Amino acid sequence: MSENNNNYDASQIQVLAGLEAVRKRPGMYIGSTGQRGLHHLVYEVVDNSIDEALAGFCTSINVVIHNDERITVTDDGRGIPVDEHSKFKISAAEVVMTKLHAGGKFDKNTYKVSGGLHGVGVSVVNALSKELELIINRDGKTYKQKYSRGKPLTKLEVVGESKTAGTKISFLADDSIFDVKEHNFDILATRLRELAFLNKGLEITIIDERNNKTKAFKYDGGIVSFVEHIDKNKNPLHKIIYVNKEKEKIDLEIAMQYNEGFAENVFAFVNNINTIDGGTHLMGFKAALTKSINNYGTKNNLLKDIKLSSDDVREGLTAVLSIKIPEPQFEGQTKAKLGNSEVKGLVESIFGDALREFLEENPSDARKIIEKSVSAAKARDAARKARDLARRKNALDGGGLPGKLADCSSREPSKSELYLVEGDSAGGSAKQGRNREFQAILPLRGKIINVEKARLHKILSNNEIITMITAIGAGIGEEFNIDKTRYHKIVIMTDADVDGAHIRTLLLTFFYRYMPQILEAGYLYIAQPPLYKVKKGKLEHYTYTERQKDELIEKLGGDQGINIQRYKGLGEMNPSQLWDTTMDPATRTLQQVTVQDAIEADSLFTILMGDEVAPRREFIEQNAKLAKNIDV
């Protein structure tokens, strides 16, 4: 050890008092200092208002994004208590705003259940805000206090009278902490809509002053409305099954419905928190679902020696599972997975009894569900055989790469890129123009199968899809393993015409339905080839939008001696042009494909790629005016 390291003693141990720890290690409390963490601040403040709604005291919540990215959250709850705290000798409101693990959520008499049980919520927001203003309406008075970076600038003062009750918090995130400062309206609106679904009758409004955008959410049907919203264009097989029962301090709510599609949409929540990694509540739900349907099918001679798996009974299922419990045990700070062991048995028992009752009382619906599950089981068996056949051809186990793939020399996925290119002509140009060290090219011939309308065994008979699966190397569907992905940039590169747009949509549908982890990891991109080449004399310029082209023409002096070429196909560019405009990391533009709103994405794919024509026509009519550069 060096001489410097020998001085490691008590003087080097830092004790971070109060909110100092939050500012020192913000990621520990809000996940990141990027976009995710910035939005997490809003959720923490809103969660306080939601807890008031859960306790029965709040009917409306209003969120405003101001022009300067300041956020204001207002509710009509009881208002944070303002009397002096016996231990700290300051107002209870100041304790809540400045002390970690302080608040009413630890007192079972104040909040029976709560989403923010770690108790760090609003104090963390205060610590990470450059400015925060707290206004409380309570007991006929209006109270006000200002803070900066977690420290009070003023005392809690009475500033007027009030006939209403509630809390209003305005805060500006600290730009010395956060890497981004712009809030995304759609990300916030998605979470607020989710909260409105989960809290029957609660009205939540979001207003964006930057562009005068407003959305209001209120669902008197609660999670039944949630399922209706998800299944609105999916041809449901039966009426929604709804269960709501309280047992041993656990309040369970389930709404579920099967549709004619093949995708599974199951959302599980604990105290309004979306447990995206599942947990014991979801395990109980799945166990009861599989057992009840198998038992009913066997008892009524509907299965004929078929034993349905958990996957079989979830094909085409839309379900929302929401439980409220006094002391949830989450695995990890992100609260993504529930760990309470007693919950599995309780959910399995309550839901199992309710589902058995529904099946017995609705034999026609029960038969449709059984037939759907049996059909899924047969298709799954066919898919297994198709996989085995494909493996024998070295297609799925990485034993051999497809002949048409021009691979890169790099074997480091983090540095490697795979271009999925429309057509052999463009594929040829891309192969010649690429950087062979880190760019692989896979030409795709024609249009791949529409996976929205086909089961997996049919999909696996499509040569272009098999070729893609093989090149990516991570498998497909339930066997997919993100760690085996051979490229961390998968770039869809299609022509700038109607056919190109269609192929791009087919590919996006495939990735969304069968390799969603690729999108979640941020590995999927769309190339942006130029729309125009503008030439005047010996000067050549490429433009990527109509507006860029018009601005360039104006700059070059009008139409005098200007030649404009509209690119419709990638094959119209020679290898060096394709590299310069679309593939060179120094000059190209790539659009990263992300899923900010899984429910809306699912709905959009169903509309655009599903069997129903009417919703697609309506979508086209509503959005036709937004389309640009249409090749007709």
- Active-site residues: which are they? 422, 495, 497, 499
> How far apart are alpha carbons 536 and 561 in whole angstroms?
6
DSSP E strands: which ranges in 369-449? 417-422, 439-444
> How far apart are alpha carbons 629 and 497 in whole angstroms?
8
Alpha helix (H) residue ranges in 55-120: 92-98
Q: Report the SS3 class of residue 286.
A: helix
Asked whether the beta carbons of 60 and 52 are under 8 A apart, the reply is no
Asked whether the beta carbons of 414 and 495 are under 8 A apart, the reply is no
> How far apart are alpha carbons 99 and 422 in whole angstroms?
58
Structure-token match 């560019």, residue found: 573
Positive or negative torsion for Cα 594, 598, 599, 601: positive
- For the record, the structure tokens of 338 come out as 């529930």
Return phi, psi of residue 265, to 5°: -130, 95
- Residue 143: count other Cβ atoms within 10 Å of its Cβ: 23
Structure-token match 């009840």, residue found: 292
End-to-end CA distance of the chain: 73
Query: Which H/E stretch holds residue 274?
Result: strand 273-274
> How far apart are alpha carbons 103 and 135 in whole angstroms?
17
> For the purposes of burial, counting CB atoms within 10 Å of the CB of 524, is it exposed (0-12), middle (13-18) or buried (19 or more)?
buried
- For the record, the structure tokens of 291 come out as 């057992």
Asked whether the beta carbons of 377 and 312 are under 8 A apart, the reply is yes
Bridge partners (DSSP) listed for residue 168: 74, 135
Asked whether the beta carbons of 265 and 319 are under 8 A apart, the reply is yes
- DSSP for 433-459, written as a single string: HS-TTTEEEEEE-SPPP-GGGS-HHHH
Positive or negative torsion for Cα 543, 547, 550, 554: negative
Crossing angle of helices 363-392 and 341-361, rounded to 10°: 120
- DSSP for 339-359, written as a single string: --HHHHHHHHHHHHHHHHHHH
